Amino acid sequence: MKFSLGQIVATPGAIAAAAASGDSLFTCLARHQSGDWGEVDEHDRKENILSLEDGFRLMSVYTLGTGFSPRVTARPSAFSCPTNTSARVSIL
């Protein structure tokens, strides 16, 4: 686990696509939290590594069985703040 998850929100489109494909958004979250950034390019992989150290945004992309690719992001201020060690995660 690279960081703790806090509040998790998902768009209706991401929820519907996961339901239609039979895929679990929780699998995407677990991969994101563990540092498996999915299908992002090399630039974004490097940015994610730096972001873990410096408190910037994290982004992952995973393709579901329907072909829909939700983007999973962690809001930077949530995990960089010394009094709050969990990240607010959005699935778009």
For residue 88, the model assigns a pLDDT of: 66
20: Cβ contacts below 8 Å, ≥ 6 apart? 66
Coil, helix or strand at residue 3: coil
The average pLDDT across 15-26 equals: 92
Residue 73, strand partner residues: 59, 90
Look at residues 88, 90, 39 and name the one whose alpha carbon lies nearest to residue 68: 39
pLDDT, tens digit, 9 for 90 and up, residues 25-78 = 999 989 998 999 999 999 999 999 988 887 788 899 999 998 989 889 887 654
For residue 87, the model assigns a pLDDT of: 59
For residue 81, the model assigns a pLDDT of: 46
For residues 43 and 80, the model is more confident at 43
